Amino acid sequence: MADVKRVVLAYSGGLDTSVILKWLQTTYGCEVVTFTADLGQGEELEPARKKAEMLGIKPEHIFIEDVREEFVRDYVFPMFRANALYEGQYLLGTSIARPLIAKKQIEIARKVGGDAVSHGATGKGNDQVRFELSYYALEPEIKIIAPWREWDLRSREQLIAFAESHQIPIAKDKRGEAPFSVDANLLHSSSEGKVLEDPAHEAPEMVYMRTIAPEDAPDKATYITIDFEQGDAVAVDGEALSPASLLTRLNALGKENGIGRLDLVENRFVGMKSRGVYETPGGTILIAAHRGIESITLDRGAAHLKDELMPRYSELIYNGFWFSPEREMLQVLIDKSQELVTGRVRLKLYKGNVTVVGRESPYSLYNQDLVTFEEGAVAYDHRDAAGFIKLNALRLRTLANRDRKVGR
Amino acid sequence: MADVKRVVLAYSGGLDTSVILKWLQTTYGCEVVTFTADLGQGEELEPARKKAEMLGIKPEHIFIEDVREEFVRDYVFPMFRANALYEGQYLLGTSIARPLIAKKQIEIARKVGGDAVSHGATGKGNDQVRFELSYYALEPEIKIIAPWREWDLRSREQLIAFAESHQIPIAKDKRGEAPFSVDANLLHSSSEGKVLEDPAHEAPEMVYMRTIAPEDAPDKATYITIDFEQGDAVAVDGEALSPASLLTRLNALGKENGIGRLDLVENRFVGMKSRGVYETPGGTILIAAHRGIESITLDRGAAHLKDELMPRYSELIYNGFWFSPEREMLQVLIDKSQELVTGRVRLKLYKGNVTVVGRESPYSLYNQDLVTFEEGAVAYDHRDAAGFIKLNALRLRTLANRDRKVGR
Amino acid sequence: MADVKRVVLAYSGGLDTSVILKWLQTTYGCEVVTFTADLGQGEELEPARKKAEMLGIKPEHIFIEDVREEFVRDYVFPMFRANALYEGQYLLGTSIARPLIAKKQIEIARKVGGDAVSHGATGKGNDQVRFELSYYALEPEIKIIAPWREWDLRSREQLIAFAESHQIPIAKDKRGEAPFSVDANLLHSSSEGKVLEDPAHEAPEMVYMRTIAPEDAPDKATYITIDFEQGDAVAVDGEALSPASLLTRLNALGKENGIGRLDLVENRFVGMKSRGVYETPGGTILIAAHRGIESITLDRGAAHLKDELMPRYSELIYNGFWFSPEREMLQVLIDKSQELVTGRVRLKLYKGNVTVVGRESPYSLYNQDLVTFEEGAVAYDHRDAAGFIKLNALRLRTLANRDRKVGR
Amino acid sequence: MADVKRVVLAYSGGLDTSVILKWLQTTYGCEVVTFTADLGQGEELEPARKKAEMLGIKPEHIFIEDVREEFVRDYVFPMFRANALYEGQYLLGTSIARPLIAKKQIEIARKVGGDAVSHGATGKGNDQVRFELSYYALEPEIKIIAPWREWDLRSREQLIAFAESHQIPIAKDKRGEAPFSVDANLLHSSSEGKVLEDPAHEAPEMVYMRTIAPEDAPDKATYITIDFEQGDAVAVDGEALSPASLLTRLNALGKENGIGRLDLVENRFVGMKSRGVYETPGGTILIAAHRGIESITLDRGAAHLKDELMPRYSELIYNGFWFSPEREMLQVLIDKSQELVTGRVRLKLYKGNVTVVGRESPYSLYNQDLVTFEEGAVAYDHRDAAGFIKLNALRLRTLANRDRKVGR
């Protein structure tokens, strides 16, 4: 067991991380520093402070920070510039939050002279990887304590028992086995486990917490506009909003219209398949809008290159490689493409559907003259198409002649 | 002008291709052979025969064929194995039909001793490329006549005038300028031009012909199952169906539930952007279902490789390179992955939404034991994760140490 | 420690694997079955049998097999169809041998009722990964013993001491510290460690064992021909040869002409950089020849797709994923491209250089008529190029017009 | 025929472009402005001035510029950062020069009020595409005159006859048919046509002009060092050199040692295969050195991403898309990776061979401690490898278990 003096723990204030806090104190005999972030998960932070104090953390070792703007501006928005979807569908809501938390823990460790960091992610999931790759990339000699991989608590009962024996208060609704586990932040909430474990069965309605059911959404469509500047959303319905405020607004719009639910079986980096239910109301609107504004402002060559690299970029984020040279290289490529991705998209929101119904931009590459039926003043000569096709066909014709010659 | 004796024309029986037919006869002084295919566009074929006869085509030179099963089995299904989406969104409904039509024309040309083929695609679109690359790939020395690039008819009025002067009957509703132009087959219908040309304005409801509006769809969800074998759909709600019958069934289900509308600005191969409205009711259900069955039967390595190659594969089909070595190479790669993509997907259809709510398969790779919270009998040791992370982090730590050393 | 009854060991007969053999017997108290393969490493196999017997292995548990033909036919040749180079340079000579050895061990384990396999690869290298991924992919529940990761022998001295205390004979030249370590098979030999560890210093001549120095090679070039069928070499100088015989012949030719040396710093899968010296005399000739025959028989689309996927394919082999769905998918794609890669290449070998000086094929796609200065009978119209360029330029012109309009 | 007032011609001073000059004057009745660049092709420029004057060009319309430094600094070096090789072998020496010439012509056209540009590339080659895509990307409404595609001169004889009838002086050695055609600049020379047209026959020694034969090179190796800063070479043997001076130095070293010859059948963008002989003496040394310095300074993730994108990047340059958004996006990605590609490479040059024999850097990521046989102070625990392998194997084991269960 590593010799640890002072550990910075990602602390939510909930039962699990409170047990970890106590376990760190008793097992490692070390000082614990807590970091609690407001990522938009929708919980009060002050109770976490109280609980930390109660568990013996010095006030100057309790760090609580509202990182919502930083989260959306420096993590969510850059990712959305790429239209990132893991396995074609997942908007990476959990994955994108981990690097930020890890970065904050490392910064605090430097400030308080911590020699270790710790998190509450389990030993079978992706989050442990995302946390720890980020820790190591930022502070290569840091010690990492992952209690779920180390301790011998092997069930909910044992966890509760440990809490009880250490005077950790337990909320009534946490006593029993939760029917599924949840992660949430401003971008999304995810649910997995227990009632969701059989992928043959539909997820029960109670799983959803961020969106109302499409069936319960208004019978009339809501129309909105989103303005973009250099690839990032900056206004809704003409009102300029900060990144976090904008995403909050879109979340509300998505929620009301039953938008952003996803029921998915995905492939974890650690090697197994898992089934999750995701709710990303604002993000689902945002990616549609971003594709909409790109469709008129991005050149084909740029757009196709981005599309081909997107799966790789998304995989890097999913696997926890946010702080890696290859993610950063892809990011500069993507950002380069966004310089004139500026304009307004109009969307229709209706019972789970997001539809782009209009796009306009001072930087539009859409040229109405070029596509009209009649040949216009513009420099498009129908006969050019013949040459274009002939030369594109040349290798195929050569091939066909060869194949014929050899009787294929 | 090429010396042409006998040309095989892709003939719909409509005004445009009738004008082309007559123009070919009068301009090239050649014999015209017509080919009219039932691709599921929803029109009677016998009127085309009558019209061709009336325009002087010999009965033995009028070819009419129902190719719906071939279309779905040999073109649509192979493409859906790839989850192909052009520019992230378009299901390639027009693109995938062209190679089949071209192939049939070439086969007929061989049968009747034709030395040329002709089509009714305009000089600004992608279809001319798709037709002609296919012609050339299959019959490298064939002559190709693309009237829209050759003649001097430059407007609807001139077309009508030509028709009148050559006794080509003109349906009343074809006299005026159509508010948009349409292509349709069993997979989709597409609309573009005129009222759709300003991408800032929402497409009017009249454009949609294959789907009812989500607003008009039933207030209650419809649940269906689709069965897959080796990557292809084989049954709906347990009833085995031929490829074309199955797609027809899904089209009906999609239509009723307002599913499959897409309003898109896309990048044409010939270099400009265009705006189209697509309706792919059955295909939209099918791709969701296919992703669903893949999610439990496909290994991560296989799935991610497919995802990374999909944009390229889709671009090839969009650009008209169906009959190319690179498309065929990608196809064998994709098909190899589908060998055990077999099982049943359950879907919820509701007012424009398609949601996978269940998947099961005798070949499932989903292992409930591996993901449960408690460590089970299965060979997953939490401590393995530590080593996994440590070695994945090694290069990042080396990098961070280097950067620190040089003061970066 | 796992309960092991019978373990199949990859046994070379050398000191290290003899120590492992004895360590397995004494530590696990299990029966050891040895597998010794002739992969063309250039050592007698019978001494391995004698030594195994001497160490107490039952005769029926000593497996010795000449796998050279299988190695070249089923592993080396498929890989060469891809022109595989790891990090642009390394011909993967070690990587490609591991899956075959692993496969044989698993087959023997099934035959003799073995419940475990073991290998002599160290805990810092790639080979442990390659062996074990292959074991697991073929026999998912097999037990794996990797002595170098388990035992407490931490230096050469301790190894020698263990050998002495267990009556394992030690060759005189093995007593001291070797100046570098070697792996060899029919495709290549690799050297690393000790005298090679500083990448700033030139590798000493004594490291090379498979090739003479270019300086010592004949002053006159040697010309040879290699015939290919479907992407695989089948004859040298017109003489048909089996795969292993052919590679042996090329090795001799390469050796004499100082061909195939590579001094490289590479990135290991386990996360660190290492420096190795490789000698791949025949393989270096073979890849040049293969590229030569492809250059006239492979269509551009096929060739470029292969080139783009090659780095990924090579990485998979380097990392040990030979037996993975994604490698197999890439293989069918590659093999599909090779159907007509048939013909003869003429090469000049001279003091380290391999130069393709001629290529011919009944399936050649090279068309002299198309490239001649004067326009010939062939269907290439110079004016087609104008249209080709115009349409390829259209999006760039639209872009430039937009940029100008917005003052960029 | 376009109405042209003033055309900027890429003028070499040779026979072909002199004929073009005169043809432009007589055919278009326009003023001709000449641009002659010193790209390091090894010819005097003043004779071109004289000849232009003699052909009636106004002195203020004769532009002669030494662009060697700009060429190497802004075109060659950025390309070498990518280790660009077209079709795995070609160093793109011709391709990379065209965008620069085109850019200069456009700049001159703006300066002199030119409305058109013209070049001497033929209608079957890649260069016409590279010139014209560059023209259009920089000046979308420029008129382009490509005489080889327009005029009716169809043979060498007709060209000579035209020259004679217009008093264009003809050098004696230009009267006859040249045995091959040549393009040259500081990076390379290329030869093609005539004596090279049969790819089965070895290129005759007379084709080579930039390198002596390996057979004629010194019998003793030459050792040199190259220093890099941020991915670009800055010094040879410790002597700081400007980009063009450095490449000139490497060219001399390569020439003397018989380095940089390539005999290749390649795929042109316009659809046919062609056979060329390239000599890139300095470039061949440079790419080896660059790979050498990258091997110790570049992280694996960065290196592999670059390697995977290189074929695409090279294809873009080969096809003429230097001034395209996608090339620029790839460039920023590549440049981002080069920030610490700084250090010294030692190379051995010997009779056609370039071998990296040493590399060192203050930014080295090579860590001798990590690779030593004995476990050192560094944080590498052999047991981590077990976990790394186990989790990497998990999906393969799941797959194998599934396959077994279903009897595959």
Residues A329, D333 contacting (CB under 8 angstroms): yes
- Helical packing angle, B382-405 and A127-138, nearest 10°: 20
Q: Tally the domains of chain C.
A: 3
- The reply to whether A104 touches chain B by the CB within 8 Å rule is no
Are residues C95 and C191 both part of a single domain? no
Quote the CA–CA distance of D327 and D314 in Å, as a whole number. Answer: 9
Are residues D249 and D355 both part of a single domain? yes
Q: From the DSSP assignment, how many helices (H) and strands (E) are in chain C?
A: 14, 14
Half-sphere exposure of residue B66: CA atoms within 13 angstroms, side-chain side: 7
pLDDT reported for residue C381 = 84
- The reply to whether D360 touches chain B by the CB within 8 Å rule is no
DSSP D322: T
Phi first, then psi: what are they for D314, rounded to 5°?
Answer: -65, -40
Q: Which residues of B touch C299 (CB under 8 A)?
A: 324-326
Which among B174, B189, B214 is the end of a domain?
A: B174
Which amino acid makes up residue B405?
K
DSSP C218: -
pLDDT reported for residue B147 = 96
Can you say how many angstroms the Cα of residue C376 is from the centroid of all Cα atoms in its chain? Answer: 46
Best to test chain C binding among A229, A272, A398, A401 (most C CBs inside 10 Å): A398
- The reply to whether A271 touches chain C by the CB within 8 Å rule is no
pTM for this predicted structure: 0.97
Are residues B64 and B196 both part of a single domain? no
| Beta-bridge partners for A6 | A31
Are residues D150 and D231 both part of a single domain? no
Residues A175, A168 contacting (CB under 8 angstroms): no
Task: Say if residue D118 carries a ligand binding annotation.
Answer: no
CB contact under 8 A, B275 and A193: no
Question: A205: how many CB neighbours lie within 10 A of its CB?
Answer: 10
Which among B142, B174, B206 is the end of a domain?
A: B174
pLDDT over 70 for what percent of chain A? 98
Q: Which residues of D touch C263 (CB under 8 A)?
A: 355-357
Which amino acid makes up residue D62?
I
Q: Which residues of C touch B129 (CB under 8 A)?
A: none
pLDDT reported for residue C371 = 65
Quote the CA–CA distance of A408 and A389 in Å, as a whole number. Answer: 25
Which amino acid makes up residue A6?
R
| Beta-bridge partners for A143 | A116
Please state, in angstroms and as integers, the Cα–Cα distance from residue D95 to each residue in D144, D194, D316, D367, following that order: 19, 21, 10, 39
B158 domain-assigned: yes
Residues belonging to the binding site of B for ATP are 10-18, 37, 120
Best to test chain C binding among A298, A339, A399 (most C CBs inside 10 Å): A399
Phi first, then psi: what are they for C223, rounded to 5°?
Answer: -105, 135
D371 domain-assigned: no
- How would residue C376 be classed by pLDDT, with cut points 50, 70 and 90? very low
Are residues B259 and B118 both part of a single domain? no
- Region of poorest pLDDT, from A121-125, B106-110, B280-284, C104-108: A121-125
Are residues D190 and D132 both part of a single domain? no
Maximum distance among all Cα pairs of chain B, rounded to whole angstroms: 86
Are residues D120 and D192 both part of a single domain? no
| Beta-bridge partners for B118 | B9, B145
A336 domain-assigned: no
CB contact under 8 A, B353 and A353: yes
Quote the CA–CA distance of D309 and D305 in Å, as a whole number. Answer: 6
Quote the CA–CA distance of A228 and A225 in Å, as a whole number. Answer: 10
Write out the two tokens for A324. Answer: 């890696």
Burial C89-103 (b: 16+ CB within 10 A, else e): ebbbbbbbbbbbbbb
Domain range for C12: 6-79+91-174
Which segment, A136-145, A379-388, C169-178, is predicted with the most confidence on average?
Answer: A136-145
- How would residue C328 be classed by pLDDT, with cut points 50, 70 and 90? very high
Best to test chain B binding among A159, A389, A408 (most B CBs inside 10 Å): A389
**pLDDT of A78 higher than 70:** yes
- How would residue C378 be classed by pLDDT, with cut points 50, 70 and 90? low
Quote the CA–CA distance of A9 and A144 in Å, as a whole number. Answer: 10
D304 domain-assigned: no
The pLDDT mean for chain A works out to 94
Are residues D156 and D29 both part of a single domain? yes
pLDDT reported for residue C379 = 61
Q: Which residues of chain B have pLDDT under 70?
A: 371-379
DSSP D196: G
CATH number of the domain bearing residue C58: 3.40.50.620
pLDDT reported for residue A377 = 43
Residue of D326, B364, B134, B100 lying closest to A397 (CA atoms): B134
Quote the CA–CA distance of A31 and C382 in Å, as a whole number. Answer: 79
Task: Say if residue A16 carries a ligand binding annotation.
Answer: yes
Residues B365, A273 contacting (CB under 8 angstroms): yes
Helix (H, G, I), strand (E, B) or coil at B358: strand
Interface of D with B in 292-351 (CB under 8 A): 299-301, 340
- How would residue C377 be classed by pLDDT, with cut points 50, 70 and 90? very low
Quote the CA–CA distance of D148 and C202 in Å, as a whole number. Answer: 53
DSSP D202: P
User: Higher confidence at residue A45 or residue C380?
Assistant: A45
pLDDT reported for residue B375 = 46
Are residues B124 and B264 both part of a single domain? no
pLDDT over 70 for what percent of chain C? 98
DSSP string, A118-156: E----TTSSHHHHHHHHHHHH-TT-EEE-HHHHS---SH
A112 domain-assigned: yes
Are residues D32 and D160 both part of a single domain? yes
Write out the two tokens for D303. Answer: 């290196």
Half-sphere exposure of residue C6: CA atoms within 13 angstroms, side-chain side: 17
Which among C147, C174, C201 is the end of a domain?
A: C174
Instruction: Kindly give the residue spans of alpha helices, DSSP state H, lying in D203-263.
Output: 243-256
With tokens 């490479």, the residue in question is: D345
- The reply to whether D97 touches chain A by the CB within 8 Å rule is no
Nearest to B371 among A154, A197, A311 (CB): A197
Residue of D271, B89, C115 lying closest to A388 (CA atoms): D271
Phi first, then psi: what are they for B58, rounded to 5°?
Answer: -65, 140
Quote the CA–CA distance of A78 and A286 in Å, as a whole number. Answer: 12
Task: Say if residue D13 carries a ligand binding annotation.
Answer: yes
Indicate which residues of A carry an active-site annotation.
16, 98, 127, 181
- The reply to whether D400 touches chain C by the CB within 8 Å rule is yes
Write out the two tokens for D381. Answer: 């625990």
pLDDT reported for residue C375 = 46
Beta-strand ranges (E) seen in B178-331 are: 181-184, 189-192, 222-229, 232-236, 239-240, 261-267, 273-279
pLDDT reported for residue B75 = 98
pLDDT reported for residue D162 = 94
DSSP string, A44-69: -SHHHHHHHHHTT--GGGEEEEE-HH
CATH number of the domain bearing residue D207: 3.90.1260.10
pLDDT reported for residue D44 = 87
- How would residue A229 be classed by pLDDT, with cut points 50, 70 and 90? very high
**pLDDT of A311 higher than 60:** yes
Are residues B71 and B167 both part of a single domain? yes
DSSP-derived pairing of the beta strands D261-267 and C189-192: unpaired
Residues A142, A107 contacting (CB under 8 angstroms): no
Are residues C163 and C240 both part of a single domain? no
With tokens 């085109």, the residue in question is: D102
pLDDT reported for residue A157 = 87
D96 domain-assigned: yes
Residue of D361, D335, D225 lying closest to D288 (CA atoms): D225
Instruction: Kindly give the residue spans of alpha helices, DSSP state H, lying in A72-223.
Output: 77-81, 98-112, 127-138, 147-150, 156-165, 172-175
Residues belonging to the binding site of B are 10-18, 37, 90, 95, 120, 122, 126-127, 130, 181, 190, 266, 278
What is the full per-residue pLDDT of chain D (408 aa) written as tens digits?
789 999 999 999 999 999 999 999 999 999 999 999 999 998 889 999 999 999 999 999 999 999 999 999 999 999 999 999 999 999 999 999 999 999 999 999 999 999 999 999 999 999 999 999 999 999 999 999 999 999 988 888 899 999 999 999 888 777 777 778 889 999 999 999 888 999 999 999 999 999 999 999 999 999 999 999 999 999 999 999 999 999 999 999 999 999 999 999 999 999 999 999 999 999 999 999 999 999 999 999 999 999 999 999 999 999 999 999 999 999 999 999 999 999 999 999 999 999 999 999 999 999 877 766 444 445 678 889 999 999 999 999 999 999 998 988
Quote the CA–CA distance of B344 and C358 in Å, as a whole number. Answer: 55
DSSP C35: E
Q: Is the dihedral of CA A162, A163, A165, A171 positive or negative?
A: negative
Average pLDDT over residues C191-207: 93
B320 domain-assigned: no
Residue A293, class by beta-carbon neighbours within 10 Å (0-12 exposed, 13-18 middle, 19+ buried)? buried
Rg of chain D, C-alpha, whole Å: 25
B39 domain-assigned: yes
